Structure 1
Amino acid sequence: MKRYQHFFLTMLAAFSLLVLAACGNSTSGGEESDATDEGQATGGAIEAKIGVISYLSGAGAAYGEAITQGLKLAQKEINEQGEVHIDLVIEDSAGEAEQAVNVGQKLMADDSILAIIGPTLSTEFFAVAPEADLNGITIMGTSTTVDGIPEIGDYVFRNAVPESLAIPAAIEKAVKRTGAKKVALIYGNDDALTKGGFEVMKRKAEEMGLEITTIETYQKGQSDYKAQLTKIKNSNPDLVLASCLYNEGAVILDQARKMGISVPFVGGNGFNSPQVIEIAGDAANGLIVGTPYFGDSEDPKIVEFNKNYEAEFGKKPDQFAAQAYDALYIYADAIKRAGTGEDRDAFRDALAATKDFDGILGKFSFDDVGDVVMDVTVVEIKDGKFVEFEE
């Protein structure tokens, strides 16, 4: 396996990371989260320390907040169950690849840390995951949906449903309902998630024989989309396929509706946040997205998760909280099967063997490269809330 082929490189990289850690090469202080009282005995539980890299400050901090809260709720429950005791060491990446690498190096250099969850954005993950793989520490993305992430290496996994599964499902249902023949595309051209989502959208539109009337791009942080939306409106599409993060995507929806673009939007994973509704208001109605999580499901597991999350944090969870919650339970399950919270290789092998794990998102397995095997639900925003899509 790769981890044996890279033995000497791994030793050299580990030495370098120890030097970096000794020099304090981190731009954010770690926050250690322990769901038990300080000094409380853990009994016979297997103890494990998990590093977390999350987008906690900056324009997209709602993603990181939801992920971190999902992890903390799972941590509390897992520790209370008594078989595994997990400490979380949480670092802020601020949504920036360079900072994600800095805090990732800090976590990797700590031999007491078994594995890492995060970073939040695919752009960050592509920067950090190769180093984790080289250093033989498992890393799992809970919100990273771009094609090619698990293929980075043997130690790289995700439990986020990739855009290559979610977007086609949403486009197929939208086309079937509307009879659409023509689509316009808009996407952020400076982010791995939005670029990857666009590529899936374009490929699916071409496979379905849909006419692409125009392709428009924008940059992260942009606030005025009138030029792009004017071109979209003038091209007279039946659907708009939009690969955006929620902060730009919600503004695009609002401006599009004000300009008289009334056709449905089909979004990528970045739209799977209640923030879209909070920012765009009624303009969010008609947005269609694929997701592994439908928060208003009557499934008892979802109902219980919602109740516990609201009791803990005072608001409803979103997809990102749910995926993070399941991710820590998947880690805990692998720790139990490995029988250790210290052996990184044993943990990696146990995690890779995960099959039919019964999470709140449904039955979950990893394929042979560490990618997701599970079902996708298509939802839409109707009357100011996400509802299950009806054909």
Structure 2
Amino acid sequence: MRGLMKKLVGFTALSSVLFLTACGGGGNEESSGTEGGEVSADVGVVSFLTGSGAAYGEAIQGGLKLAQEEINAKGDVKINLIFEDSAGKQDQALTAAQKLINSDNVTAIIGPTLSTEMNVVGPEADLSGVPIIGTSTTAEGIPQIGDYVFRNSIPEALAIPASMQQAIDKYDVKKVAILYGNDDVFTKSGYDTMKKTAEEMGLEVLTTETFQKGQSDYNAQLTKIKNLNPDLILASALYNEGAVIMDQARKMGIDVPFVGGNGFNSPEVINIAGESSNGLIVATPWYSEKEDEKVQEFVTKFEEEHGHVPDQFAAQAYDALYILADALKNAGSSDRDAVRDALAKTKDFEGILGNFSFDEEGDVLMDPTVLVIEGEKFVEFK
């Protein structure tokens, strides 16, 4: 028993669905369940498909569709994906999620893309008893939202310290400057981790500068940073703003390395900033050059379909659907509670990201890889 509140919510939602069905409306035509030993389920996806961060959503969609094709071909589980666009906006993400939650055929939800969105969608899914898996939500506190909230993306609290430590060891860093977007939960969370880690490592923080989404001129912040001469710049930004920051920094003569958060880890940074992106250090569970048969099969298939190598957002989405399919198979049912319980038991799942388990809170247990951009390409940082 998950608690009286969830039961009451479930009863109310069921009553509404029954009423609508009696009136001739509501739900999808196909029902989810077990047919001849095969578990069939509708899985909703809330993703950033249009707008400034569409590259995230496109990568996630590509990874999910490839996994869906492979999973359905194997025959144990049949998954139907239902995509809803959030455009990176909290209100749109919530509306999309509510539409999926209120469909009695939707077993689980993947997404939304941003931690900002998950902060409003997660509580709604949890209260309604719908399992939800974030594939790119790395801010602090996401799985702690509730029993039904999971993620398979390495949190900033794990990734940032790993990349900072390697940068500090290699470059003998003593002084840093911090730059972050102060109008987004995700980038603010990255900043909190950077600040905390810098303090724990005994680094001198020369200045902390802020910016907003869509900003195009960083002259004031970068001029101040340049004059303070840091050994390293810590930047918590999404790829659009992050790429522009690096481009303007290099053109101003700032040549020190950058350590970025998860949102900075996208090939779009290279596409936008070109050679100015060189020197960006990030930690990630995904490395497309890894000598692993499953990894290279995924890269080959994805590249054939999309014309480019998959990034971590595609890879995390791909693994997330396989993790969910594994839970559906183990549950033997598309029942939301049964799938939630099966998800919680995920341990030592061997995906393209590596060996993966959920901890007791639905958070990630795995080791990140630290990468750096050199020659306009992500390579292992050594």
What TM-score results when the alignment is normalised by the length of structure 2? 0.94
What residue is the counterpart of 1:37 in the other structure?
Answer: none
Determine the C-alpha separation between the residues in 2 that align with 1:372 and 1:127.
21
Matched residue SS, 2:70: helix
Determine the C-alpha separation between the residues in 1 that align with 2:316 and 2:15.
34
Structure 1 residues 105-164: Cα deviation after superposition (integer angstroms, max 9, x where no partner):
000000000000000000001110100000000011000000100000000000000000
Per-residue deviation, 1:4: 4.0
Q: Which moved more, 1:73-82 or 1:292-301?
A: 292-301
Determine the C-alpha separation between the residues in 2 that align with 1:13 and 1:5.
12
Instruction: Determine which of 54, 79, 99 is the counterpart of 2:47.
Output: 54
Determine the C-alpha separation between the residues in 2 that align with 1:19 and 1:153.
29
Per-residue deviation, 1:312: 2.0
Determine the C-alpha separation between the residues in 1 that align with 2:42 and 2:278.
42
Q: Verify: 1:74 aligned to 2:78, yes or no.
A: no
Structure 1 residues 207-261: Cα deviation after superposition (integer angstroms, max 9, x where no partner):
0000000000000010101111111111110000000000000000000000111
Per-residue deviation, 1:197: 0.3
What residue is the counterpart of 2:343 in the other structure?
Answer: 351
What residue is the counterpart of 1:268 in the other structure?
Answer: 261
Using a 3 Å threshold, how does the CA distance of structure 1 residues 117 and 62 change in structure 2: closer, same or farther?
A: same
What residue is the counterpart of 1:172 in the other structure?
Answer: 165
Q: What is the aligned length?
A: 373
Per-residue deviation, 1:15: 5.9
Determine the C-alpha separation between the residues in 2 that align with 1:373 and 1:213.
33
Letter aligned with residue 351 of structure 2: G
Q: Is the 8 A contact 1:274 1:318 kept in 2?
A: yes
What residue is the counterpart of 2:178 in the other structure?
Answer: 185
Structure 2's unaligned 5+ residue stretches are 22-27
Per-residue deviation, 1:299: 1.6
Per-residue deviation, 1:298: 1.5
Q: How does 1:145-160 map to 2 (within 5 A)?
A: 145-160=138-153
Per-residue deviation, 1:328: 0.1
Q: Verify: 1:335 aligned to 2:335, yes or no.
A: no
Q: How does 1:186-265 map to 2 (within 5 A)?
A: 186-265=179-258
Determine the C-alpha separation between the residues in 1 that align with 2:15 and 2:98.
11
Per-residue deviation, 1:43: 6.2
Matched residue SS, 1:6: helix
Using a 3 Å threshold, how does the CA distance of structure 1 residues 18 and 176 change in structure 2: closer, same or farther?
A: farther
Q: How does 1:358-373 map to 2 (within 5 A)?
A: 358-373=350-365
Using a 3 Å threshold, how does the CA distance of structure 1 residues 17 and 53 change in structure 2: closer, same or farther?
A: farther
Q: Verify: 1:11 aligned to 2:11, yes or no.
A: yes
Letter aligned with residue 236 of structure 1: N
Per-residue deviation, 1:17: 8.8
What residue is the counterpart of 1:325 in the other structure?
Answer: 318
Letter aligned with residue 389 of structure 1: F
Structure 1's unaligned 5+ residue stretches are 22-31, 35-41
Instruction: Determine which of 292, 296, 299 is the counterpart of 1:299.
Output: 292
Determine the C-alpha separation between the residues in 1 that align with 2:241 and 2:152.
25
Per-residue deviation, 1:3: 4.1
Matched residue SS, 1:295: coil
Determine the C-alpha separation between the residues in 2 that align with 1:250 and 1:19.
51
Per-residue deviation, 1:385: 0.3
Instruction: Determine which of 115, 135, 151 is the counterpart of 1:122.
Output: 115
Letter aligned with residue 136 of structure 2: S
Q: Which moved more, 1:228-237 or 1:87-96?
A: 228-237
Letter aligned with residue 369 of structure 1: E
Letter aligned with residue 276 of structure 2: A
Q: Is the 8 A contact 1:221 1:248 kept in 2?
A: yes
Determine the C-alpha separation between the residues in 2 that align with 1:88 and 1:349.
21
Moved over 3 A (4+): 1-6, 9-21
Letter aligned with residue 313 of structure 1: H
Determine the C-alpha separation between the residues in 1 that align with 2:15 and 2:182.
37
Matched residue SS, 1:266: strand
Q: Is the 8 A contact 2:177 2:232 kept in 1?
A: yes
What TM-score results when the alignment is normalised by the length of structure 1? 0.92
Determine the C-alpha separation between the residues in 1 that align with 2:144 and 2:308.
36
Q: Is the 8 A contact 1:20 1:106 kept in 2?
A: no
Identity %: 63
Using a 3 Å threshold, how does the CA distance of structure 1 residues 5 and 77 change in structure 2: closer, same or farther?
A: same
Letter aligned with residue 301 of structure 2: N
What residue is the counterpart of 2:155 in the other structure?
Answer: 162
Determine the C-alpha separation between the residues in 1 that align with 2:16 and 2:39.
30
Determine the C-alpha separation between the residues in 1 that align with 2:4 and 2:324.
23
Instruction: Determine which of 364, 384, 389 is the counterpart of 2:381.
Output: 389
